[in-house]
Structure 1
Amino acid sequence: MDAIGDQVEIGILVYPGAQMAAVHGLTDLFAVANRMAADLGARRSPLLRVCHWAEMPGQPLAVSFDSHPQAHHRPRVMIIPPSLTEEPGPDLIDRFCNDLRQWHREGALLVSVCVGVFFIAASGLLDGRSATTHWNFAQSLAERFPLVKVEANLPLLEDGDIITSAGLMAWTELGLKLVERFQGQTLAAETARFLAVAPVHAMPGPGSVFSPRLDHGDEAVLKVQHWLQSTGAREVNLALMADCAGLEQRTFLRRFRSATGLKPTEYCQQVRVGRACRMLEFTNRSIDQIAWGVGYQDPGAFRKVFHKVTGLAPGEYRKHVVGPAG
């Protein structure tokens, strides 16, 4: 589980026009997960603390609700819910750009539901990256933010430090995925069972979805992590990563492994394999084409790395997620 300590602060951005069913539904979902953890005696499971962030009259963005009130706030996750009205306009989304960039810079996982992706796109954090949204808004997202690679055919797109989803009601699945990430698969399944909703489907292979550690507090390393996610870890090497961090190579190696739990080469492999998994599931590209697409000139080397990370050959993975005819 990607959690340090006994508490994970999850923020929900309550903007004008936000779907309050999603805001309160997610709040209830995380409360149920905490209760399941207590009932099952999961002492090592962190508490999920939920905070609603909203604009107050004449004041900057602040916490309007805190499930476990404390003075200090540093969200580990920030969720931008959907809207029941219409696509958010520039004047609205621009008001939150600086806050989203700051949270992301401090290591928060950004999560959007449906048109919530427009807020992240406006901040520039999706430039050159892939994202998904509701099919009804995909063309507008692509037109307003041409640097974003819109993949409207994907119901959910997990990309390390940013997660986007397409469906208006996708907040239930996203909530369960966050429970799984921070409290484990058993508690996610128990929460789903209690709420009588579809559980999170486990993907084949332990490394098929990469959930990097972002809450370690090392700003230099976090800067490199964001850079690797935005570039897909293609055409990178130790010298470039150390230069991005502003550190001497030996110092960078030590601090990167201490912060993330992985060597830089292992981290890059996880990023590339995560993108390859998405291509295997949602495209008809050959395995060789996918290998080249994620930065491997030698498809044979790609197959070895893919098996090392997921425990499956690329072809086996594709059969597991889309079936023999996929």
Structure 2
Amino acid sequence: MKKTALLLPRGETMGSAVVGPYAIFARVNEFMASQGQPPAFEVELVGCEPAPSFEEGAFRVSPHRQLAEAAGYDLAIIPGFTGEVAAMLSANRPLIAWLKEQRETHGTELASLCSGAFFIAAAGLLDGKKCTTHWAYADEFRTRFPRANLMPERIVTDDRGIYASGGAYSSLNLVLYLLEKFSGKAAAVWAAKVFQIDPGRRSQKPFVIFSNQGAHQDEAIARVQEHIERHYREGLTVTGLAGRFAFSRRNFLRRFKEATGNTPIEYLQRVRIEAAKRNLETSFGGIGEALSAAGYSDVKTFRRLFKKYTGFSPMEYRNRYRV
């Protein structure tokens, strides 16, 4: 049986990231008992304050124990939050220290749900390790923790006893993953059916809304980004952009990558594909219209890049997400 701590951080914690896993583990234990097997998980709610509340005070939870008296777990699960990152990290310094101590002293395995990855990373435990988080937090995560191997397209990562999930309700896919790993596939399949979770989801790509990646201090690169976003339908090139903004090609490539996490060409592609997505979501036109909206002229190239960034063909995407 896996002794498990489901942590309750201070601040604006996602209630669904607490209630969902807790309910699934409880029901799976019932299922295991019905099969004549011992419970799979012994779950304790571990609070960072006496009476944590969620969703702006709409729900309150009674922890089984407080953080100061909690230790020796096989697995600790850290839910995501909706608050401002700096404030959440500051308010949860004791939790971050606790994670580090449990990992290094007891070998506790750690699992983050959604933005919960920030807490593990702040403890220095994701340096050189694969991880994921909600796609909307990816830029800030990279900026704060450049040594982590962030893979924001993934819904689940597993690297040497540290697990992470993508955003919001996709964190339930990590719960299924942990069930299969520690309890067997039958328990995971049963939970997937009862809670109606698609176990086949592997990527966050279809859900990403590309932002302008402006969380940096390089004003010159910010001007390049603004130019790309206004003129993406034109025949922009790396050489042309470097010359227009008085960079050497090499310096331009280096600074753009450092500031945005993308090469200039990747950034241009993502801006164009986002334009195509908006067209497919709101228009009844065919692929030619989306192609034009994105500034492409070659259908084969457009299809390949659209699939790369969304995980779907253009028509599959339209059928799923057209408003």
Specify the SS of the correspondent of 2:125: coil
1:31 aligns with 2:26: yes
TM-score by length of 1: 0.52
Match of 2:48 among 55, 64, 72: 55
Deviation, 1:119, is 0.3
Take 1:39 and 1:200, find their aligned partners in 2: how far apart are those partners?
A: 26
Higher helix share: 2
1:77 to partner: Cα distance: 0.8
Q: Secondary structure at the match of 2:85?
A: coil
Alignment check: 8 A CA contact 1:113 1:164 kept: yes
After superposition, where does 1:101-250 map in structure 2 within 5 Å? 101-105=100-104, 106-199=106-199
Aligned AA (1:139): D
Q: CA deviation at 1:156?
A: 1.5
Q: Secondary structure at the residue paired with 1:111?
A: strand
How many angstroms apart in 2 are the aligned matches of 1:73 and 1:152? Answer: 31
| Post-superposition CA distance 1:189-240 (Å, at most 9, x none) | 11221222223689xxxxxxxxxxxxxxxxxxxxxxxxxxxxxxxxxxxxxx
Structure 2 vs 1, CA of residues 73 and 91 (structure 1 numbering), >3 Å: closer, same or farther?
Answer: closer
Greater radius of gyration (CA): 2
Deviation at 1:73, TM superposition (A): 5.1
Tell me the distance in 1 between the aligned counterparts of 2:82 and 2:198.
23
CA contact (8 A) 2:121 2:127 kept: yes
Matched residues in 2 for 1:64 and 1:103: separation?
Answer: 22
Pairwise CA distance, 1:79: 0.8
Contact kept, 8 Å, 1:193 with 1:199, in 2: the verdict is no
Aligned to 1:10: 4
2:28/2:191 contact within 8 Å kept: yes
Provide structure 1 residue ranges, at least 5 long, that are not aligned to the other structure.
1-6, 203-321
Q: Which amino acid aligns with 1:12?
A: L
Whichever residue aligns with residue 19 of structure 1, its letter is M
Letter of the 2:4 partner, please give it.
I
Following superposition, the deviation at residue 35 of structure 1 comes to 0.8
Higher relative contact order (CA 8 A, sep 6+): 1
Q: Which moved more, 1:115-124 or 1:146-155?
A: 146-155
Q: 1:72 & 1:98 partners in 2: Cα distance?
A: 13
**Aligned residues of 1:9 and 1:77 also touching (Cα < 8 A):** yes
In 2, the alpha carbon distance for the partners of 1:193 and 1:107 equals 32
Partners of 2:85 and 2:70 lie apart in 1 by 33
State the match for 2:256 in structure 1: none
With over 3 angstroms needed to count, the CA separation of the structure-2 counterparts of 1:200 and 1:50, relative to structure 1, is farther
Segments of structure 2 that go 5 or more residues without pairing to the other structure are 52-60, 203-310, 312-323
Check whether the contact 1:46–1:182 (CA below 8 A) recurs between aligned residues.
Answer: no
Residue in structure 2 matching 1:79, options 63, 77, 81? 77
User: Structure 1: how far apart are the matches of 2:96 and 2:30?
Assistant: 34
Give the % identical residues.
29
- CA deviation after TM superposition for structure 1 residue 91, in Å: 0.9
- Quote the Cα distance in structure 1 between the aligned partners of 2:49 and 2:113: 23
Aligned counterparts of 2:50 and 2:193: Cα–Cα separation in 1: 40
Contact 1:80 1:116 in 2 (8 A): yes
Residue type of the alignment partner of 2:139: Q
After superposition, the C-alpha distances for 1:112-168 in whole angstroms (9 at most, x for unaligned) are 112101101110111222321111111111111222222212222111210111221
SS of the counterpart of 2:16? helix
Calculate the aligned-residue CA RMSD, in Å. Answer: 2.8
Q: Normalising by the residue count of structure 2, what TM-score does the alignment of the two structures yield?
A: 0.53
- Indicate if the aligned counterparts of 2:111 and 2:163 stay in contact, CA closer than 8 A: yes
